[in-house]
Amino acid sequence: MVTLLHLPSSSPLLHTSLAHLTPELIAVEGIIECPGRRPRLPTELMLIVRTHLIIALSACLAEESNDTLAAYSCSLIALLCSDCTSYNTDIYGGNVFDWPWDQFSGPCLCEGDIDDCIARTQTFTDHITKLQCDPASAPYLFRHMELSASRRDRTNAEEDETNFHKRIAAIQSAASRSPILS
């Protein structure tokens, strides 16, 4: 797992950044930084736990990304007939993402079977639908962003109401002490 952070790409940085937004890590950081209570373990041990948690979460997120990319690649290949798949594999290599998809407009009609084309299109649509982010079961980033936004809105509304009541109380207090308004 430690080698994940030594890969020469931006992917480890992305997954580590996402790991920092997970509820698990936020909870551990809350325990470490809790100003009112002392954690049961020394802070040094909690930081070691946090480090290992970041590595484990990053590896888990990287694995999830790889699985999603593999599923997407399989769904792209499913749109092509066996001849087109063999041709692209021979010419461009086994990595689907290296193929020239810029002129791709849908499933191939090389064999002329429209029913097969429609079936491949439906299979692709089903695969893509499964890969799309559902806000209820979204990856940590989307869930975190949604929760942060709702929390911020709730907090701002509560603060606005509290500040409003404080201002009203201050005005009433000042008015009761004012000789002009008495």
The tokens for 170 are: 């201050």
Which parts of 23-113 fold into alpha helices (H)?
A: 23-33, 43-78, 82-92
> Which 3 state secondary structure label does DSSP give 71?
helix
**63 with 147, same domain?**
no
**41 with 66, same domain?**
yes
**161 with 89, same domain?**
no
The count of structural domains within the chain is 2
Cα–Cα distance for residue pair 25/53, rounded to 1 Å: 7
**21 with 110, same domain?**
yes
Domain boundary among the residues 120, 135, 150 is at 135
CA dihedral 17, 22, 24, 26 (to 10 degrees): 80
50-74: average pLDDT:
86
121, containing H or E segment: helix 114-131
Q: Is 15 exposed, middle or buried (0-12, 13-18, 19+ CB in 10 A)?
A: buried
**142 with 54, same domain?**
no
**128 with 155, same domain?**
no
What would the pLDDT profile of 116-170 be if each residue is shown by its tens digit?
777 777 777 776 666 655 545 545 445 555 555 565 556 555 665 666 566 666 6
Q: Is 84 in contact with 108 (CB distance < 8 Å)? A: yes
What would the pLDDT profile of 6-15 be if each residue is shown by its tens digit?
555 777 787 8
**32 with 89, same domain?**
yes
Domain hosting 179: range is: 136-182
Residue 2's pLDDT is what?
A: 44
